[in-house]
Chains A and B, each alone.
Chain A
């Protein structure tokens, strides 16, 4: 795994985020990265960034087919 892979998981997976803050050595080992990356992580920034990315994903998510059909029928 690469460092971008670990970061992408951390930014999108709340359970992994919690685990990384609780047990950085275990998560770093699982992703094959230097544990110093997680030991020194900006904890406040991690939470803020993850929340911001989640808002972006929610804002750009395509509605499900069922929702689009209901919208077309005027039944949101």
Chain B
């Protein structure tokens, strides 16, 4: 059965806890939580399925992942005991310099080889494979010699991981760089889609910034229906919202729209 949930944020905690009858799954960011908060998140995981989501491991790089951050992820996963954990196919540092956010790696064999090495190390430290997520980018990644769908497909093949398919990242990149987002869905075996992110952003001229500060745009729901029409197994869909929080009913309405898109896709699949 398909599930729809939301990212845990302190600002949304009361709204989430008060509406667990309408939220099937919760995604928690990996961070240096104080013990009390970690215990609370563990209790949450006993109440509702929880995924842990990393943002700073920088696994898709020809440089090795930071061991301290891998150990922190292992501690968070061990403490919360989530259903799954995930991280981005991105790099976040290079040559000792921290970028401060997720950067799309050069789409090259070197990045794929580096991701495979780093994912193997992450698997060893954390104890299980993460889902790996496609990232949004405002720059066509320098040093690339393949397109994004080919890169993601090759990375999944090399790492053995399932995909956390971020549909707003897909929409943003396809819009910014003028390609059809369905090319990604064509390139990825649908059975490899382990979970789905939806979110919103804004235009920066001809490009789209994935800022998680706006409502999910219509094309993302259309892509979600397309994914549901292709995926053979149940999907887990998570709404990401990182600020400018609307009232909780608005966010719940976005979850309902996601459910409607899933139903539409499933009906197409059955037809």
A51-B62 Cα distance, complex, nearest whole Å? 24
Interface centre among A41, A49, A57, A60 (most CB of B within 10 A): A49
A2-B113 Cα distance, complex, nearest whole Å? 14
Interchain CB contact (< 8 A) of A45 among B95, B96, B98, B207: B207
Interchain CB contact (< 8 A) of A6 among B61, B94, B110, B140: B94
Chain A stretch 1-32: residues in CB contact (< 8 A) with chain B: 1-13
Interchain CB contact (< 8 A) of B106 among A3, A9, A48, A56: A3
Q: Are A53 and B209 in contact (CB under 8 A)?
A: no
Q: Are A4 and B94 in contact (CB under 8 A)?
A: yes
Tell me if A's interface is mostly helix, strand, loop or mixed: helix
Q: Are B139 and A46 in contact (CB under 8 A)?
A: yes
A52-B93 Cα distance, complex, nearest whole Å? 15
A52-B176 Cα distance, complex, nearest whole Å? 15
Q: Are B101 and A57 in contact (CB under 8 A)?
A: yes
Q: Are B100 and A49 in contact (CB under 8 A)?
A: no
Q: How many pairs of A and B residues are in contact by the CB < 8 Å rule?
A: 89
Q: Are B139 and A49 in contact (CB under 8 A)?
A: yes
Q: Are A42 and B100 in contact (CB under 8 A)?
A: no
Q: Are B91 and A4 in contact (CB under 8 A)?
A: yes
Question: How many residues on the A side are at the interface (Cβ–Cβ under 8 A)?
Answer: 30
Q: Which residue of A lies closest to B242 (CB)?
A: A59
Residues of B close to A71: CB separation below 8 A: none
Q: Check if B103 is an interface residue, CB within 8 A of chain A.
A: yes
Question: How many residues on the B side are at the interface (Cβ–Cβ under 8 A)?
Answer: 26
Residues of B close to A6: CB separation below 8 A: 94-95
Q: Are B101 and A1 in contact (CB under 8 A)?
A: no
Residues of B close to A40: CB separation below 8 A: 142
Q: Are B103 and A7 in contact (CB under 8 A)?
A: yes
Q: Check if A37 is an interface residue, CB within 8 A of chain B.
A: yes
Q: Are A53 and B63 in contact (CB under 8 A)?
A: no
Q: Check if B97 is an interface residue, CB within 8 A of chain A.
A: yes
Q: Are A57 and B62 in contact (CB under 8 A)?
A: no
Q: Are B101 and A53 in contact (CB under 8 A)?
A: yes
Q: Check if B99 is an interface residue, CB within 8 A of chain A.
A: yes
Q: Are B100 and A7 in contact (CB under 8 A)?
A: no
Residues of A close to B137: CB separation below 8 A: 45, 49
CB distance from B2 to the nearest CB of A (A): 32
Residues of A close to B106: CB separation below 8 A: 3-4, 7
Q: Are A5 and B97 in contact (CB under 8 A)?
A: yes
A29-B142 Cα distance, complex, nearest whole Å? 16
Closest 3 CB pairs of A and B: A5-B95, A45-B139, A8-B94
Binding site for A on B (CB under 8 A): 61-63, 91, 93-101, 103, 105-106, 110, 137-140, 142-143, 204, 207, 209
Binding site for B on A (CB under 8 A): 1-13, 33-34, 37-38, 40-42, 45-46, 48-49, 52-54, 56-57, 60
Q: A9-B94, A54-B100 are in contact. List 7 more A-B contacts (CB 8 A).
A: A4-B63, A5-B97, A7-B106, A11-B103, A46-B139, A52-B209, A53-B103
- 11 CB contacts below 8 A, A to B, read A3-B94, A4-B106, A5-B63, A7-B103, A8-B103, A34-B143, A45-B138, A45-B139, A48-B139, A49-B138, A52-B138
